[in-house]
Amino acid sequence: MTTAGKRSPKHKVSLLAGRLRERISSGELTIGSPLPSTRELAKSNGISVITVNRIMSRLADEGLVNRIKGKGTFVGSPLAQQLTIGLNFYIPDVGSPLDQSTAFTVFQDSAGAAIRDAGHKVLNIPCFGLHDVDSGRKWLEQIDALVISISCVNHQVVELLRNFTKPCVIIQQSDPYPLPFDQVVPELSTGFTQAIACFRKLGLTSLVISGTGASSDHSRLGVVRSCAMMMGYGDEAVKTVMADAIIGDLGRMRGYRIGGQLLEAGSLNKTGIFSVSDFISFGIIDAFSEAGLTPGEDYHLISFDDLEADGLLPFDEPMLTSVSFPRREIARSAVNLVLSRIEKPSTSLVSLRIPTLLTQRRTCRVTTDNNKPKKRR
C-alpha cells in the first residue's frame, strides 16, 4: 500500500506515459517538436532514467515519438511517413539471462535501437511466426521491410519471402547462403586467418578444430580449414573433433566432452585448438583446468564469439583468446541496408561482410620482439 500523498513508481510511469500520449494526440505538442531529455523527465517525475527510456521506446513503437541518436526525442511524424520494420530473430530458451542477452538478444536489441534511432517503428515477429503460411502473410502485411535471422529461415519461409515485394535482409552467422535476398554476414576469414597465424608463430605443428553439428558450425569449420590450408597446414595436420547435441546446453557441456577427448589424445603442447564457439571453449577450459593444465603453456586455444568482451565472464576475468563476432555492427548494418532499399529500390543483391578481429588473452598469446603482447588494432 502507498501512503497518502505519495504515488507508487508504477503509477508515476503510467501517469507520465498517459500525459505524453494526451499532449501529443491533442496537438499540444506539435509534430517535430523536441521533448525534454530523459534526465529532465526522470528528475521532474521522480523515476529513473532507465524507466524513462522504456517509456520512450514504447511511445516510439506506437509512432508517437521519434528517437534520433545524438539529437534527442521528437514528437513523431504522421504515421503515413513512418515505416514499420519487422524483426524476426531466434532466441533459444536455454542458458542464463546473461548468456541470452550476450549471445542472442543483442541482435534484436541492436536492430531495434537502430530502427528507432531512424524514427521508425519496430514489429517483433515471433521466431517461428513465418513458418505457417497464413499467419506469416498476416505478419508481413503489417510491415514495410523485414530483417530476419537465418536461424528463422526454412524452405517454407523462403517461398513466403519470394512473394514479399518489400525489402528483406537476412542476417547470417557465417558465409552467405545461396538465397535471393540481401544478406549481412561476419567476414570470418579476417579473424580466422589471424588466429591461424598465431598458431604458426608458436610453431604448433597440428591443428584441431572443434564444433557441433549445427549448420553454422559446419560453415565455420570449413572456413577455419581453408584458412589453415592457406597458412601452410597440410590436410593430414588438421583434424576435426565434434560433439553431439545435449538438451539444454549452449555448448559448455559438449566442450567439456571435447576437452576430455583432447586430453586422451595427448600432445596438446604441439597442437593448436580452434573452437567455433566460446560456449564450447568454456567447457574445454573446464576439462583442462580439472587436469591441472595452464592456459597458454600446456595448451593453446583460440575461439570464435568473444563473449567475454561483452561481459560474459565464466572465469571471473577475460582469459579466452577469441575472434570477435560483431553482432551489433551486423544488426545495425542490416537495418541501414533495408532502409536504403526502401529509399532506393534495386534488383541487384548485396552481401555485406563485417570484419572480425582477434583479441589475444591467456589461452593463446603471441608476443612481439620486446615481449609485449600484441594489441588489437
User: For the chain, which residues make up each domain, given as ranges?
Assistant: 13-78, 81-187+327-354, 188-325
- In the structure grid, which three cell numbers stand for residue 249, read together? 546446453
- How long a stretch of residues is the chain? 377
Average pLDDT on 275-286 reads: 96
Rounded CA separation 364/368 (Å): 14
Residue 370 CB neighbour total at 10 angstroms: 5
Report domain 13-78's class: mainly alpha
Rounded CA separation 136/125 (Å): 9
pLDDT value at 374 more than 80: no
Give pLDDT tens digits for 79-127: 446 799 999 999 888 888 899 889 999 999 999 999 998 889 999 999 9
Of 33-47, 81-95, 137-151, 255-269, highest mean pLDDT: 137-151
List Cα–Cα distances, 155 to 112, 179, 376, in angstroms: 26, 10, 40
Residue 103 CB neighbour total at 10 angstroms: 23
**H, E, C per residue of the chain:** CCCCCCCCHHHHHHHHHHHHHHHHHCCCCCCCCECCCHHHHHHHHCCCHHHHHHHHHHHHHCCCEEEECCCEEEECCCHHHCCEEEEECCCCCCCCHHHHHHHHHHHHHHHHHHHHHCCCEEEEECCCCCCCHHHHHHHHHCCCEEEEEHHHCCHHHHHHHHCCCCCEEEECCCCCCCCCCEEEEEEHHHHHHHHHHHHHHCCCCEEEEEECCCHHHHHHHHHHHHHHHHCCCCHHHEEEEECCCCCCCCCHHHHHHHHHHHHHHCCHHHEEEEECCHHHHHHHHHHHHHCCCCECCCEEEEEEECHHHHCCCCCCCCCCEEEECCHHHHHHHHHHHHHHHHHCCCCCCCEEEEECCEECECCECCECCCCCECCCC
pTM: 0.76
Q: What is the pLDDT of residue 245?
A: 82
326 vs 72: which has the higher pLDDT: 326
- In the structure grid, which three cell numbers stand for residue 225, read together? 580449414
pLDDT value at 7 more than 90: no
Q: What is the pLDDT of residue 293?
A: 96
Q: What is the pLDDT of residue 212?
A: 83
pLDDT value at 36 more than 70: yes
Average pLDDT on 190-198 reads: 96
Give pLDDT tens digits for 229-253: 999 999 999 999 998 888 889 999 9
81-187+327-354 adopts what CATH topology? Answer: Rossmann fold (3.40.50)
pLDDT band with cut points at 50, 70 and 90 for residue 8: low
pLDDT band with cut points at 50, 70 and 90 for residue 308: very high
- Report the candidate in 123, 164, 169 with the shortest Cα–Cα distance to residue 149: 169
Q: What is the pLDDT of residue 355?
A: 96
The yes-or-no answer to whether 81-187+327-354 and 188-325 have a common fold is yes
Please state the CATH superfamily assignment of the domain spanning residues 188-325 in this structure. Response regulator (3.40.50.2300)
Give pLDDT tens digits for 164-192: 999 999 998 787 888 999 999 999 999 99
